Amino acid sequence: ATSTGAFIFLDPWSTGGLFLLFGVARVALRNTVLAAMAAFGLLPLLSGITGQPAPRILGFAALAAMILFAHRANLKEELLQND
């Protein structure tokens, strides 16, 4: 949630893409935690597809890696519950 506020300030269009990715993932996965992590993980790919500059894509990739690493315990717990 904190990173989303920063995204809105720094890049509103990418934030819209993040919300779109989250919505699609939430419907597909039926799990909020996994959907949020999937959205952040896919954000660099979406940024590349939409023609964002390379430094921004690399920044999103670094941010996604940090977020996924910080939430690795949550991811593990959610993945084990969904088996």
- Write down the pTM of the prediction: 0.77
What pLDDT, on the 0 to 100 scale, is given for residue 81? Answer: 84
* CA pair distance 53, 6, nearest whole angstrom: 18
Local confidence band at 7 (pLDDT 50, 70, 90 cut-offs): confident
Quick one: DSSP state of residue 70?
A: H
What pLDDT digit, counting tens, does each position of 37-74 carry?
888 888 888 888 888 899 988 988 998 899 899 999 98
Reported as type and span, the H/E element at residue 42 is helix 32-49
Can you point out the beta strands (E) in 1-83? none
What pLDDT, on the 0 to 100 scale, is given for residue 42? Answer: 87
